[in-house]
């Protein structure tokens, strides 16, 4: 982490001015300097008395200025970046352990280190920062301190000014827009949309950090300078791949079919992961043919459109078409670095941008450098391309949230502060190029994160604890305790009982959902031809001598430790092609039915049901409850009886569930579990029999984590971020009208004036954030309670250990000795930059040497180039040189030739890819189109070659080596499926009643 911090110190020095002097700072300093009564707080002092004694209910406004720093790190010299103002900082050196700070910081809590904090008497400390309007909760003397447990070694001071007021001042003002009364007109088209996609970002955390001064760029651009779509929900499951499927197609998962990170195939009984190197391409493939096949289909479409014929419909109007294909049809493309869904393996030269940040031969650490790599790549190769859509994915927020203390209420805040700097570097570049005026900027996330705020998360291993664990049965064949004693396959892991060749497949990467695949009707049938019939799940046979079990009941009543530890919230079962069953432990069951009306709109009904039992047709029969008092989604208390009595369209459900604990659940659960006929053939092979969702405070996984999770249909995980700013966008506005991530693609195209009329999206273009001539409502005050999310206290981390009987494995993705890591390291050798290697050898890693000097010179030269030569920089970038470039036909050299051709094309004018929408093609257009086509063909051929190599080595060979090694190290690892107690069930029950109560068998 130290290396990483040093990299950022350099960046901080570049952008530090912007951070250190945010908008409000100048005003504060004037007030305080004019006042001689300022309280002086030395940074080395512990709690310091102020002259102010407050009674309960008194209101004061506090403001402060000054600079402090923590102890100088042993290897660093004094720099401006080490100092922070009263707002404090999240960019602390790793040596600062925030566990015993007055307000826990770092990986222990959400507070900024070195911030100004206060307390009244001996009361709870609270955050002041640069300014705060407070109403005293207790009586006593107002005291101040720097948020640091050991202040003795600090330097600097704060000057604090306290004003007694009648009511505490708000944190600011903002315009609040509710649902528009009428349909809004399309906006005037922007030239480009630039999307910063921060994975897993919680919008409430963005707002808190921005308004307390820790995300200066995001605050300036998006909070103060843009509109926030506060009620944006993602799709179910709230996971990266599913959300990306919907973000970039504008369709629900029932149309794109990307419903999990692991893809189990019933036909082959094998699984593939979308988290592997090939994952993003496989995801794109399942949407549409890619590579040479994709090229053929695009060529087919182009020929049809050239001769004026209509393109033959591939299957039905339900097919989900990705954004890049829609842009391709308009003769252009999107520009992206690495994304969870990509039509190409990795963009050309992307690995060189990663290697600029990654220590040599440390591919295992790549996940900690993705934000830098994608930003560097965007700065070098994307933003100057002037494509209509540019996407920059910053995935570290999500990966750090998953693994480090308290997620976005702890360690991840440092990652966010760094992401803000990266966003600033891209926006500054556009600004210098004079391109900001034509650009709409968006800040989005694919999902939220659950946990870390009030409670730590606990893990529950469904595969092991419910399915694999040895079952204890009585002599008279009754299940007594333990698991089901079944062998379990998971992705890259097998838990097998001795002499058992049967298995169930459980897809449970650490996540808020878990998917279960079963052989049809009987565990021992190993009939994987189609999914189990729903009725079989109520009477599932696992052994000859045991009665069939109610598997659903068994799963939802699973207990972790005691009767109050219920990790499973709901079981979801697709009951018929148009109905979905939701079954919970204590809140009963419900059924969601779906129907299409004459305009092909979906209508949904939610009914509370009971008396579940097998129906003759293989489905589960139910009886509607007439006057329900509880239901799985808490809708009986949330919506009126009249509303629940009828079916409604998607928009009505979205509005009604806006403030629910399960936002948009009726539509999002149904449109994830019930698929449309056009993906039927794929869904049948990949859809699970049962989907489990984790209860509040839980996730499904093998190991404990100090971090947070998503995947659940719960509010924290379902709410995602969407801010918009730029040309013609309302400033300082919060929009409460609910919307979905399926609206993203239609909205992007709408902003560009490129919304195709014949494309059927599930989403709709959002237009409320565009400025209109109608005056906006009067700004409302933003209160402290609206913004600050936390009670600042520390929370205990869960220490539930992993099960002891788990199979051993050599697969360790983030370890330097993992097979894939070794392969990636070897594969990176040709992409090494000789100049950086020279720098590192000469000056040691992280030192500024020849490379950084060269990069700066290149950047300066580039900003001076006129617009139509925008592609040229890629040609002459010496800092992108690699060892492999000694070969004239290396990827790097071919890429340079491509960029040179692009430049010449742009300079000659008439190039269709550069044309704005609706402009007339020039005489050279056919020639340009032909050149573009040849370039694409070359790229596709080289991609297909790479793809075959990666598939053979990184995927198949590495997978095979690991599974053989796993088999060998697990030979002595034998856990019996069943233990028979030499007593009958009644005796055991009697005996156990006198001791502790055992969970009864369902
Ligand atoms: Zn994600």
Distance (angstroms) between ligand 1 centre and the Cα of 970 equals: 33
Distance (angstroms) between ligand 1 centre and the Cα of 235 equals: 12
The reported pLDDT for the residue numbered 983 is: 77
The reported pLDDT for the residue numbered 909 is: 67
Distance (angstroms) between ligand 1 centre and the Cα of 713 equals: 14
User: What is the percent of the chain with per-residue pLDDT over 90, rounded to a whole number?
Assistant: 53
Q: Which residues contact 118 (CB under 8 A, 6 or more apart)?
A: 62, 125, 126, 128, 132, 134, 142, 143, 144, 145
Task: Using alpha carbons, select from 113, 20, 251, 232 the residue that is nearest to residue 762.
Answer: 251
Distance (angstroms) between ligand 1 centre and the Cα of 652 equals: 27
Average pLDDT score over residue span 621-645:
93
Residue 746 clears pLDDT 90, i.e. is over it: yes
Distance (angstroms) between ligand 1 centre and the Cα of 509 equals: 13
Distance (angstroms) between ligand 1 centre and the Cα of 446 equals: 5
d(CA 954, CA 124): 54
- For β-strands 504-507 and 579-584, DSSP reports them as unpaired
What's the pLDDT band for 858 if we cut at 50, 70, 90?
confident
Regarding predicted confidence, which is higher, 710 or 30?
710
Last residue of a domain, one of 772, 787, 802: 787
d(CA 290, CA 719): 31
If you average pLDDT over every residue of the chain, what do you get? Answer: 86
* 60-74, 420-434, 799-813, 915-929: the lowest-pLDDT one: 915-929
Domain match, 955 and 825 both: yes
User: What is the percent of the chain with per-residue pLDDT over 70, rounded to a whole number?
Assistant: 89
* 329-333, 703-707, 821-825: the lowest-pLDDT one: 821-825
The SS3 of residue 508 is coil
Query: Using CA of residue 490, residue 494, residue 497, residue 498, what is the dihedral sign?
Result: positive
Residue 846 clears pLDDT 80, i.e. is over it: no
Domain match, 101 and 187 both: no
d(CA 851, CA 632): 59
Domain match, 158 and 235 both: no
The reported pLDDT for the residue numbered 1001 is: 40
* 380-394, 587-601, 745-759, 910-924: the lowest-pLDDT one: 910-924
How many CB atoms are located within 10 Å of the residue 35 CB?
13
Domain match, 197 and 109 both: no
Domain match, 331 and 208 both: yes
Task: Using alpha carbons, select from 720, 812, 728 the residue that is nearest to residue 772.
Answer: 728
Residue 60 clears pLDDT 50, i.e. is over it: yes
Cα 415 → chain centroid: 14
Domain match, 39 and 128 both: yes
The reported pLDDT for the residue numbered 350 is: 86
Distance (angstroms) between ligand 1 centre and the Cα of 239 equals: 6
**580: in domain:** no
Average pLDDT score over residue span 365-371:
87
Average pLDDT score over residue span 265-288:
87
Distance (angstroms) between ligand 1 centre and the Cα of 240 equals: 3
Average pLDDT score over residue span 420-430:
95
Are 940 and 271 a contacting pair, CB within 8 Å?
no
Last residue of a domain, one of 787, 808, 833: 787
Q: How many domains does the chain have?
A: 3
Distance (angstroms) between ligand 1 centre and the Cα of 148 equals: 33
Distance (angstroms) between ligand 1 centre and the Cα of 710 equals: 8
- For β-strands 232-233 and 739-740, DSSP reports them as parallel
The SS3 of residue 978 is strand
* 495-504, 554-563, 649-658: the lowest-pLDDT one: 554-563
Which residues are near ligand 1, the ion (C-beta closer than 5 Å)?
199-200, 240, 398, 446
Regarding predicted confidence, which is higher, 508 or 735?
735
Q: Which residues pair with 458 in a beta bridge?
A: 698
Distance (angstroms) between ligand 1 centre and the Cα of 343 equals: 19
Residue 7 clears pLDDT 50, i.e. is over it: no
Residue 954 clears pLDDT 90, i.e. is over it: no
What's the pLDDT band for 574 if we cut at 50, 70, 90?
very high
Distance (angstroms) between ligand 1 centre and the Cα of 174 equals: 29
Residue identified by tokens 């999307």 is: 195
Residue 662 clears pLDDT 90, i.e. is over it: yes
The SS3 of residue 780 is strand
Domain match, 165 and 29 both: yes
Tell me which residue range forms the domain holding 97.
2-169
Distance (angstroms) between ligand 1 centre and the Cα of 161 equals: 43
Average pLDDT score over residue span 575-594:
96
Domain match, 871 and 764 both: no
The reported pLDDT for the residue numbered 915 is: 61
Distance (angstroms) between ligand 1 centre and the Cα of 200 equals: 5
Regarding predicted confidence, which is higher, 590 or 357?
590
Distance (angstroms) between ligand 1 centre and the Cα of 171 equals: 31
Distance (angstroms) between ligand 1 centre and the Cα of 721 equals: 12
Query: Using CA of residue 523, residue 529, residue 531, residue 536, what is the dihedral sign?
Result: negative
Last residue of a domain, one of 742, 771, 787: 787
What's the pLDDT band for 781 if we cut at 50, 70, 90?
very high
The reported pLDDT for the residue numbered 821 is: 82
Q: Which residues pair with 336 in a beta bridge?
A: 391
Q: Which residues pair with 460 in a beta bridge?
A: 700
Distance (angstroms) between ligand 1 centre and the Cα of 199 equals: 5
**893: in domain:** yes
d(CA 438, CA 421): 22
Residue 381 clears pLDDT 60, i.e. is over it: yes
Distance (angstroms) between ligand 1 centre and the Cα of 612 equals: 36
Distance (angstroms) between ligand 1 centre and the Cα of 685 equals: 25
Distance (angstroms) between ligand 1 centre and the Cα of 197 equals: 10
Residue 648 dihedral angles phi and psi, to the nearest 5°:
-140, 160
The reported pLDDT for the residue numbered 448 is: 97
Distance (angstroms) between ligand 1 centre and the Cα of 399 equals: 8
Distance (angstroms) between ligand 1 centre and the Cα of 410 equals: 18
**927: in domain:** yes
Domain match, 36 and 85 both: yes
**853: in domain:** yes
Distance (angstroms) between ligand 1 centre and the Cα of 447 equals: 6
Distance (angstroms) between ligand 1 centre and the Cα of 512 equals: 13
User: In what helix (H) or strand (E) does residue 768 lie, and over which residues does it extend?
Assistant: none
The reported pLDDT for the residue numbered 874 is: 61
Average pLDDT score over residue span 336-345:
90
Distance (angstroms) between ligand 1 centre and the Cα of 120 equals: 41
Domain match, 159 and 201 both: no
The reported pLDDT for the residue numbered 3 is: 37
Cα 308 → chain centroid: 42
Residue 8 clears pLDDT 70, i.e. is over it: no
Residue 27 clears pLDDT 50, i.e. is over it: no
Residue 917 clears pLDDT 80, i.e. is over it: no
Distance (angstroms) between ligand 1 centre and the Cα of 238 equals: 8
Domain match, 961 and 830 both: yes
**829: in domain:** yes
Average pLDDT score over residue span 110-135:
94
Distance (angstroms) between ligand 1 centre and the Cα of 339 equals: 11
Are 550 and 745 a contacting pair, CB within 8 Å?
no
Distance (angstroms) between ligand 1 centre and the Cα of 401 equals: 10
The reported pLDDT for the residue numbered 941 is: 83
**847: in domain:** yes
Distance (angstroms) between ligand 1 centre and the Cα of 196 equals: 13
Average pLDDT score over residue span 215-226:
96
What's the pLDDT band for 549 if we cut at 50, 70, 90?
very high
Distance (angstroms) between ligand 1 centre and the Cα of 785 equals: 28
**841: in domain:** yes
Distance (angstroms) between ligand 1 centre and the Cα of 395 equals: 7
What's the pLDDT band for 13 if we cut at 50, 70, 90?
very low
Structure tokens at 709: 């999770």
* DSSP-derived secondary structure for 621-688: EEEE-SS-S--TTS-TTTS-HHHHTS-EEHHHHHHHTTTSSSTTHHHHHHHHHS--GGGHHHHHHH--
User: In what helix (H) or strand (E) does residue 962 lie, and over which residues does it extend?
Assistant: helix 958-969
Distance (angstroms) between ligand 1 centre and the Cα of 354 equals: 20
Q: Which residues pair with 228 in a beta bridge?
A: 723, 734
Regarding predicted confidence, which is higher, 660 or 989?
660
Distance (angstroms) between ligand 1 centre and the Cα of 419 equals: 15
Distance (angstroms) between ligand 1 centre and the Cα of 211 equals: 24
Distance (angstroms) between ligand 1 centre and the Cα of 394 equals: 10
Average pLDDT score over residue span 66-74:
88
Distance (angstroms) between ligand 1 centre and the Cα of 320 equals: 20
Distance (angstroms) between ligand 1 centre and the Cα of 263 equals: 17
Q: pLDDT of 198-216, one tens digit each?
A: 999 999 999 999 999 999 9
Average pLDDT score over residue span 161-176:
95
The CATH number assigned to the domain holding 92 equals: 2.60.120.430
Domain match, 726 and 872 both: no
d(CA 255, CA 687): 13
Residue identified by tokens 């009477």 is: 539
The reported pLDDT for the residue numbered 810 is: 79
Q: pLDDT of 75-106, one tens digit each?
A: 777 888 889 999 999 998 766 788 889 999 98
């Amino acid at each position: 982490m130290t290396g990483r911090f040093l990299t950022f110190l350099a960046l901080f020095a570049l952008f530090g001015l912007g951070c250190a002097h945010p908008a409000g700072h100048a005003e504060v300093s004037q007030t305080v300097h004019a006042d001689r009564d300022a309280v002086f707080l030395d940074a080395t002092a512990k709690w310091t008395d102020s002259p102010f004694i407050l009674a309960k209910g008194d209101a004061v406004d506090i403001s402060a200025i000054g600079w402090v720093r923590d102890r100088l790190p042993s290897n660093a010299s004094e720099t401006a970046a080490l100092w922070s103002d009263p707002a404090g900082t999240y960019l602390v050196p790793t040596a600062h352990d925030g566990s015993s700070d007055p307000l826990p910081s770092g990986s222990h809590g959400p507070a900024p280190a070195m911030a100004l904090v206060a307390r009244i008497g001996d009361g709870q400390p609270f955050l002041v920062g640069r300014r705060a309007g407070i109403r005293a909760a207790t009586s006593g003397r107002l005291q101040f301190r720097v948020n640091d447990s050991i202040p003795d070694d600090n330097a600097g001071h704060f000057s604090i000014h306290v004003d007694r007021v009648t009511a505490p001042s708000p944190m600011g003002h903002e315009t609040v827009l509710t649902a528009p009364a009428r349909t809004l007109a399309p906006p005037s088209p922007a030239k480009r949309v630039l999307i910063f996609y921060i994975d897993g970002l919680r919008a409430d955390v963005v707002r808190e950090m921005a308004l307390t001064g820790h995300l200066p760029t995001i605050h300036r651009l998006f909070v103060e300078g843009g509109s926030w779509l506060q009620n944006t929900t993602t799709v179910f499951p709230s996971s990266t791949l599913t959300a990306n499927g919907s973000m970039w197609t504008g369709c629900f998962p029932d149309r794109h079919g990307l419903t999990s990170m692991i893809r189990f195939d019933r036909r082959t009984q094998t699984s593939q992961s979308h988290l592997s190197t090939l994952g993003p391409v496989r995801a794109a493939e399942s949407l549409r043919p890619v590579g040479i096949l994709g090229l053929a289909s695009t060529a087919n479409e182009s020929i049809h459109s050239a001769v004026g014929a209509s393109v033959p419909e591939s299957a039905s109007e339900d097919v989900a078409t990705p954004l890049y294909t829609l842009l391709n049809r308009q003769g252009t493309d999107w520009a992206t670095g690495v994304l969870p869904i990509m039509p190409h393996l990795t963009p050309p030269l992307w690995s060189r941008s990663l290697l600029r940040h990654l220590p040599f031969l440390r591919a295992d650490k790549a996940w900690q450098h993705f934000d830098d790599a994608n930003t560097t790549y965007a700065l070098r190769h994307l933003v100057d391309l002037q494509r209509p859509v540019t996407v920059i994915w910053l995935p570290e927020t999500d990966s750090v949230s998953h693994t480090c203390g308290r997620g976005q209420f702890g360690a991840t805040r440092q990652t966010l502060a760094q992401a803000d700097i990266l966003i600033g570097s891209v926006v500054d570049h556009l600004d210098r190029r004079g391109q900001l005026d034509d650009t709409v900027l968006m800040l989005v996330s694919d999902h939220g994160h659950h946990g870390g705020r009030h409670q730590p998360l606990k893990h529950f291993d469904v595969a092991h604890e419910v399915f694999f664990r040895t079952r204890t049965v009585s002599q008279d064949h009754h299940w007594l305790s333990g698991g089901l004693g079944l062998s379990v396959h998971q992705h890259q892991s097998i838990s097998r009982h001795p002499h058992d060749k049967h298995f169930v497949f459980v897809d449970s990467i650490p996540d808020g959902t878990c998917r279960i695949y079963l052989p049809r009707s009987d565990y021992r049938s190993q009939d994987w031809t189609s999914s189990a019939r729903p009725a079989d799940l109520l009477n599932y046979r696992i052994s000859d001598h045991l009665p069939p079990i109610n598997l659903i009941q068994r799963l939802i009543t699973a207990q972790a430790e005691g009767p109050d530890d219920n990790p499973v919230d709901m079981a979801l079962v697709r009951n018929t092609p148009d109905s979905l069953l939701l079954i919970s432990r204590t809140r009963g069951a419900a059924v969601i039915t779906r129907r299409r009306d004459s305009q092909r709109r979906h209508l949904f009904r939610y009914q509370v049901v009971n008396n579940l039992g097998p129906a003759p047709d293989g489905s589960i029969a139910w009886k509607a409850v007439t006057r329900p008092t509880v239901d799985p989604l808490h809708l009986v208390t949330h919506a009126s009886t009249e509303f629940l009595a009828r079916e409604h369209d998607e928009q009505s459900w979205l509005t009604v569930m806006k403030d629910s604990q399960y936002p948009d659940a009726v539509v999002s659960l149904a449109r994830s579990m019930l698929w449309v006929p056009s993906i039927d053939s794929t869904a049948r092979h990949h859809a699970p029999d049962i989907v489990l969702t984790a209860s509040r405070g839980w996730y499904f996984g093998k190991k404990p984590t100090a971090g947070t999770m998503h995947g659940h249909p719960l509010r924290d995980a379902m709410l995602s971020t969407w801010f918009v700013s730029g040309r013609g966008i309302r400033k300082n506005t919060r929009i409460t009208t609910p919307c979905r991530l399926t609206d993203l693609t239609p909205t992007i195209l709408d902003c560009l004036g490129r919304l195709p009329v014949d494309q059927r999206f599930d989403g709709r273009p959002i237009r409320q954030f565009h400025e209109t001539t109608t005056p906006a409502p009067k700004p409302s005050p933003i209160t402290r309670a609206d913004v600050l999310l936390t009670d600042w206290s520390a929370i205990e981390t869960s220490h539930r250990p992993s099960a002891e009987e788990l199979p051993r494995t050599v697969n360790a993705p983030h370890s330097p000795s993992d097979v894939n890591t070794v392969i990636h390291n070897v594969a990176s050798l040709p992409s090494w930059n000789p100049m950086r290697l020279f720098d590192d050898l000469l000056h040691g890693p992280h030192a500024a040497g020849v490379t950084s000097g060269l990069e700066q010179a290149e950047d300066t030269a580039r900003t001076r180039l006129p617009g139509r030569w925008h592609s040229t920089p890629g040609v002459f970038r010496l800092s992108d040189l690699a060892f492999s470039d000694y070969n004239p036909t290396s990827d790097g050299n071919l890429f340079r030739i491509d960029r040179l051709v692009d430049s010449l094309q742009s300079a000659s004018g008439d190039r269709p890819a550069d044309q704005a929408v609706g402009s007339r093609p020039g005489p050279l257009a056919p020639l340009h189109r032909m050149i573009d086509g040849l370039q694409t063909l070359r790229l596709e051929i080289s991609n297909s070659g790479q793809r075959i190599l990666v598939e053979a080595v990184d995927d198949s060979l590495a997978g095979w080596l690991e599974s053989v090694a796993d088999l060998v190290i697990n030979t002595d690892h034998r856990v019996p499926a069943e233990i028979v107690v030499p007593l009958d069930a009644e005796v055991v029950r009697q005996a156990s009643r006198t001791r502790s109560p055992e969970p009864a068998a369902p």
